[in-house]
Structures are given as C-alpha cells and as structure tokens.
Structure 1
Amino acid sequence: MDLFFKYLQYEKRYSPHTLTSYHTDLGQFAEYLKEVYQLTDPAEADHAIIRSWILSLVQKHLEARSINRKIACLRSYYKFLLAQQRISVNPMLRIRPPKASKKLPGFVLEEPFNNLLDSFTFEDNFEGHRDKLILEFLYGTGMRLSELLGIEHPDIDLHARTVRVLGKGNKERIIPINDSLYFSLETYLAAKKTLNADNNSQKLLVTTKARPLYPKFVYRVVKKYIGMITTSEHSSPHVLRHSFATHLLNKGADLNAIKDLLGHASLAATQVYTHNSIDKLKSIFEKAHPKA
C-alpha cells in the first residue's frame, strides 16, 4: 500500500485531498476484509468479495458519489497491483459503479453578494482587509480553496494584474485580477506590512500572527459573511467558485473560457453550470419570444 500511495503522489500527482480520501477508502476496505473474510492482504480479494463490500456500502445508504469514489480507489489499486505483477487477474473488471444522481452546484445570488462586497463596511484593520480579500479572491477568480491557500507573493503580478495558481495535478494556470480584487489586494498588502516582520512565510494569506491560513479558517470567514445575505446551507468556499462560474455563464461568457479559468481538465466538468442557468434562459425566453 505504501508503494501504491507513493505512486499516486509522485507519478500520478494526485492532490493531497484525494490521497487522504484514498487512504481512508483503502483502510476501510482492508478492515472489511479482515472482519468478514479474515483476509489480511487486499491482493487476495476476488470479484465476489469486492462486490460484497460495495453492496454493504449500499445497504448502509452511503451516497452513490462516495461509493463511486471508493470504487475508483480500488480500480487504481488493483490496476497498480496488476502492473506490479502482484496479481494475475484484475478483480475490478466487472465491477459497475452505482448511478449517481446529478447534484447541481449551489451558488449565491449575484446582486446580494455584490452588494455585500461593495457596500458592507469591513473593519478597517488587517483582519477586515484579509476577510474581504478572501471573498474577493474566491468569487473574483473561481479558484479552489487549496489554490487560494497555496498563493505566495511571487505568484501575484500587480503590474499585469494576474495571479498564478497551482491546480489539480500540479497544473499551473494564470487568472486575471479584476479591479475590485486589485484594490482589495493593494489594501491588504499594505496592512500585512504591519505584522511581524520576522516571519519568513511567503504565503499571501496569513493570520494576525503572520502564520499561513488553513482551510477551517477560510470556511469560518466565508460562512460568516454569506450568512449575512442568505439563510441557505450553501456557505462553503466552493460555493463562491460555483457562483463565479454561474454568474459568468449568465452574463454570456464562453463555456470554454470558464473551463480554462476554473482549471477543469474537460468541458464535461464545466457543463454542469449550464443547468444553473436554465432559469436565466427561461426569463430571457419569456421576455423575448412572441409566443411566450
């Protein structure tokens, strides 16, 4: 298993989040084999045993998306064992994943959120400027939380008004910085200079003790401010990424351009946002079509 995870990390370049999930999935599978079949080596599991584990997950009412991720983990694992000649037959060949219902990404409404950014009085101190910058970055660029936390000072080009981010699979992309984000960034950088100058961290976003921010911190910030404009349960950093894409599409942006901005590997991943825009299309149709 150690060799497998090193292979995923260094050769396949899987994200830390995916590696953590696969560690959990493979660990749960190993526990099941030991408890139910008294097997200590997953390489000894056959098609029937693997299928029984998947059925047990279905009976526990686990979401299809979660089950499919575990199946993807096992596919990668047994494909690796086959390449390493640890097994002669891949037991995953006839395993079929359950069909997952399409879950549309949640998003915040354009007008209330922009009113929050433009009209709300954030505290005139380092914390206030940092909180606003977090919101501006997530909504203004559509980047992922991990990408936001990974930004370092050399990644920012104020002259060109761009930011360089490292996405999934260590793929680098350049995202333009809009005017609102640019001014928030300038204000934040000025406030950051008042912090502990002895800290050598190159990370852009830091705490008041000049230490790099962490995921839960950003979650709390986003939840705090989104809670001011909606009672919806959609209040995670990823919701602002969804909002970025949905609002761009509503304004007529090209789907391929949105794909590149989001850092999606294929257009299929971006097309989910077209479903969120159907209400906008209906509204245009009702106003414009003579038979509407």
Structure 2
Amino acid sequence: MARPGSGGTEGVEGGKSRFDDIYGRPDPRAYFRRLAPLEYEIPHHAQPVFRQAATERAALDDGCAHGPAVLDVCCSYGINAALLNHDVTLAEMHERYTYPGTQAMSTDELTASDKEFYAARRRPDPVPVFGLDVSAPAVQYALEVGLLDAAFTDDLEQGSPSPRLSRALAEVGLITLTGGGSYITARTFTALLDGARRPVWVSAFVLRTVSYQPIERTLAVHGLNTTVDVSRTYPQRLFTDEREQHYAIAAVRALGGDPTGCEENGRFYSLHYESRPDTP
C-alpha cells in the first residue's frame, strides 16, 4: 500500500505532509510524539462507529462457530484495535506514549509494560482484529503487545494477497480505515474483496481532500452500497503549515466541498463512508 510507513523522511506530496519516518520505528512513541501536537483525533471519533459496526456485523453470523474478524487497513501500531477492544481512550494513549517515564524505557521494557497495560483493560466482548500495513515494525509491535490477532504487510497496491493473507480474508467480515484513504486506492479494496468468503462491510473515514468515488465504484461491483452524510464532518488533525492548509482548501473546493468552518479553520476534516450489501 502506498502510505506512510515504507521508510524515508517527512516530506510533502501534492501539498499534504507525510510522516514516513514515524511508522518505521520499533514502537509507537515517535508516532505519538509527532502527532500529539497536531491533535490527531480521528481514531477517537471512529471508536464508537467501529464498535457499533462490528457488533451489527457479528450479529449476521450469530450461531457460527467463529465470528467475523475486523481487518484494519493501514493499521500502523494498532491504534484502532486498541480503542476497539480495550477500555482506553486516544487521549490516554497520547499521554502514555509521550510521558517522560515512558520515553526512558527501552523498546523491550515498553513492550512488556504495554502487554500488561492492554491486558488489564481488555473488554469482555473483544472481536478478532487483523492488521494490514506495509510497516513491518509497526504491525509487529501491535502483534507482540496483543492488540492484533494477526498482522500482514502485503502491499496490495503493487500485488496480490499472500497465501497467508488470503486464508485470513476468509474470516473477515468488516474492513475499517482511518487516515489511509490518501494513500491506497481501489486496487487494495479489489484485492481484499476478491478474497472475501463472508459478507464484508466497509467502514471508512476519509479526508475531504480525497475523492472516495473510485473506491465506491469498486465496492458497488462487489455488491456493496455506500452511504455518507456529507453534512457531518470529523476533525482529523491540525495542519502542519500554511502550505498544507492551502493545499487542503483547494482540494476540498476542487471536489465541490466548502472549506468554510472546517479546513479554513486550520484542520483536516474527514467524512465517514459506510458500505454494506444492499440485502443482508
């Protein structure tokens, strides 16, 4: 998948800042140190939405030996998985990983601490969560601390799913996405849905600077109807600088949107797209 996480340094592509360097670290501290000052918050807004979608999707498989798994695309360090299956908030995670005492730990020490931290906060009704991200260090950390049940680094923008991912797709009933809509295309969703063996729903938060229509068309080919309330927006993060803001305002206007009260106020905003079969 063409997203931050494949290495390199921070730069600007098309006017939007990239944070490639923070996704290749062995633990999430650099990720939170960089994004906390920018008030990155979209996983917080997605948390109740994903929980509701996961509950409703699981109800369709009621009586099956194994309930459907959630596949979080562009999962990085398992943030959405942490929020979905644990009694923890994004604000608490920001505080935890930027706390001076945490900064002094080695990665091994932090890993051990996180295992205990998340195990103590595990909800009584967890759902299986698989993670997909091109950053091997990020998904490996999420796997080691118990946030993910399985992790994959397949780049579906460039190739087909590996045999291991293909087998896992048979268990997936819900695909989630926050923030990755700027870096992946319909190619990734085609690969995932072609390998599905259960009815799959998609719940995605996508920046207003990005057209979701190509992905919507791909989902429609696979029998999914997409709905979106364009009047409801979700703050994503602060802009890094004026250049990024100018890019965002122009991109929103180019797609027929109005940046007044949103991007003009200094933040990226997202829309929520929900895709489900026309009939259960």
Q: Which structure dedicates a bigger proportion of its chain to helix?
A: 1
- TM-score w.r.t. the length of structure 2 is 0.26
Greater Rg over alpha carbons, structure: 1
Q: Which structure dedicates a bigger proportion of its chain to strand?
A: 2
The structure showing larger relative contact order (alpha-carbon pairs under 8 Å, at least 6 residues apart) is 2
